[in-house]
Amino acid sequence: MKIAVLRERFEGESRVAATPETIAKYIALGAEVAVEKGAGEASRLSDDDFQKAGATIGATAAATLKGADIVLCVRRPAADELGGVNKGALLVGALDPYGNEKDVAALAKAGVAAMSMEFMPRITRAQVMDILSSQANLAGYQAVIEASKVFDRAMPMMMTAAGTVRPAKAFVMGAGVAGLQAIATAKRLGAVVSATDVRAAAGEQVESLGAKFIMTEALKDASGTGGYARELTKDEQAAQAELVAGHISKQDIVVTTALIPGRPAPKLVTKAMVESMAPGSVIVDLAAERGGNVELTQPGKVITHNDVTIIGYTNLAGHIPTTASQLYARNLLAFITTLIDAKEKKLAVNWDDELVKATVLTRDGAVVHSAFAAPKTDTAGDTEAKPAPAKKPAAKKPATRKPAASKSTASKSAAPKADPGQAGETKPAPRKSTARKPATKAAAAEAGPQADAPATAPAAKAAAAEKPAARKPAAKKPAARKPAANKPAAPEGGDK
Ligand code: NAD
């Protein structure tokens, strides 16, 4: 049983699908592992590290894939890049099938069994395999770090001999996995944090992290199925807009994370709201990959408008690739372990297992996932009912793979800067609304959404009060706000 780990070819993708830690475990399960040369470089994992863990290094993709029974990847490789794998080999990764149906069909034709990790059901057994949660958690953290890099003031309150500096005000919109981690991170850095969500249950989670929950009376609870939010009615949207407009103008840092399964990201921050913010304010739009929560967001880019910086990076977890790879690789290991008979040391996929059924896109030369398979026609010519595919978000990232890096000027609306780390990112697959347990406490953001047992509110508070995370290099910016005219251009994209 051979497992192949590919070097990622997607422009700007810095993660890798296996680490020395997971490779050692695959080998213990009876697999031989081949890693393509240089696969871990961007995550600071050398070929030597992989070899020490027991892997062989393939000089080329072809050499790595030859005779493979399982191929591990972060991004979906093209079908024609998979030559040499065994018939029926498993391809496991974040395959991003929505909007890429032709590529999925090509994978079917190539004879591989493609398994899309984004479709992992959010049930207790599969929490450890939930790549959306592990990566969203990191993205929420990184969003605040990115904001702090361009924010030209200190975040915490500082009482010094020269006087007191007020703490920054941070506002998080959407308190799911990413949002809760953004709240916790902003708290750790000393900001005064408020947050909003349309699910009433999020209120308790936000407050357990020591942040203030903001919600309009007009919007009681917009919880949808499976712990996700539903789309708001027009009246609810208007009430929310009024609430946000009144609050956002007093904020220094805004992190938006609001998503609705299978829908484009709701637009929550209008141009006028951006213009109401003070010069030097920063917005990080974590929903950029699904069109953005901010009217002005440009996916994959950093822009400034009215001296407000809007960061639209679409793969923020990829900005901390070493940690992101570590968690992603563990998610994959946990799933692959269920597909192997460790005693017999061979692949033993139970195609009836709910995790397999939920994730498998192609098998035996056909597209089999209900969201993508062509409806079967019976003899009478009727079509078999199948669930409607989740709607693709309207705003898709441009397909260009070249970062259009350009230095911004201090003009009112600076030229957008591409994020090389994001260039050419495709949008992630809209999430499947599968049944899962909503986390009961915000501490999920601290323990990681992988943690089975919800932490208690005090635990969350304690975690939030931890010592501040390491700050960006000091002395980068003066504490005092610069006059708008002197404001430096927004940072280069792709700052890692
Ligand atoms: P998500 O990424 O789909 O959305 C992010 C957040 O945006 C959600 O909290 C949503 O309510 C909010 N939102 C949507 N529309 C909004 C609007 N108009 N204004 C403000 N906020 C809006 O959500 P997610 O991160 O996947 O988390 C959703 C829930 O699922 C959370 O309660 C989370 O704790 C839970 N969860 C459970 C598991 C599990 O049990 N295995 C795993 C992950 C997440």
DSSP letters, 77-112, are PPGGG-TTPPTT-EEEEE---TT-HHHHHHHHHTT-
**Ligand 1 atom 32: the closest Cα is on which residue?**
438
Which residue has 């793979």 as its token pair? 401
Q: Is 413 a catalytic residue?
A: no
- DSSP SS3 for 131: helix
- Give the integer Cα–Cα distance in Å for 142 and 134: 13
Cα dihedral 98, 102, 108, 113 sign: negative
Residues 6+ apart with CB under 8 A from 313: 146, 284, 288, 300, 302, 319, 419, 421, 422, 493
* Residue reference for tokens 């199925």: 225
Active-site residue identified among 14, 43, 116, 133: 133
**Any idea what the Cα angle at residue 27 is, between residues 25 and 32, rounded to 5°?**
145
Atom of ligand 1 nearest to the CA of 439: 34
Is 116 a catalytic site residue?
no
Phi and psi angles of residue 303, each rounded to the nearest 5 degrees, phi first = -125, 165
Neighbour tally for 353: CB within 10 Å: 14
Taking the centre of ligand 1 as the mean of its atom positions, its distance from the CA of residue 145, in whole angstroms, is: 21
Which ligand 1 atom sits nearest the alpha carbon of residue 437?
40
Q: How far is the CA of 118 from the centre of ligand 1 (A)?
A: 15
Backbone φ/ψ region at 198: left (φ over 0), alpha (ψ -120 to 50), beta:
alpha
* pLDDT number for residue 449: 40
Residue bearing the CA closest to ligand 1, atom 41 = 122
Residue 60 near residue 80 (C-beta atoms within 8 A)? no
Q: Which residue's CA is minimally distant from atom 9 of ligand 1?
A: 176
Task: Give the separation between CA 312 and CA 269, rounded to whole angstroms.
Answer: 13
What global pTM score does this model have? Answer: 0.79
- What type of residue sits at position 348? A
Helix, strand, coil in percent for the chain, rounding step 5:
30, 15, 55
| Ligand 1, pocket residues at CB < 6 Å | 122, 127, 130, 133, 136, 173-179, 196-199, 202, 227-229, 232, 257-261, 266, 268, 431, 436-439, 444, 449
| CA-196 nearest atom, ligand 1 | 20
Does the annotation mark 249 as catalytic? no
What is the structure's pLDDT at 376? 53
CA angle 194, 195, 198 (to 5 degrees): 155
133 as an active site residue: the answer is yes
Task: Tell me how far apart the alpha carbons of residues 291 and 15 are, in angstroms, rounded to a whole number.
Answer: 23
The stretches in the chain having pLDDT less than 50 are 378-496
Name the strand (E) or helix (H) holding 33: strand 32-36
Whether the Cβ atoms of residue 139 and residue 317 lie closer than 8 Å to each other: yes
The DSSP 8-state label assigned to residue 223 in this structure reads B
Question: Ligand 1, closest atom to CA 175?
Answer: 9
Amino acid (1-letter code) at residue 408: S
What pLDDT does residue 342 have?
Answer: 85
Question: How remote is the CA of residue 361 from the centroid of ligand 1, in Å?
Answer: 25
pLDDT of residue 429: 40
Q: Own/partner pairs for 242-248, CB < 8 Å, 24+ apart?
A: 242/216, 243/196, 243/214, 243/215, 243/216, 244/173, 244/196, 244/268, 244/269, 244/273, 245/270, 245/272, 245/273, 245/276, 247/171, 247/194, 247/196, 247/214, 248/171, 248/273, 248/276, 248/277
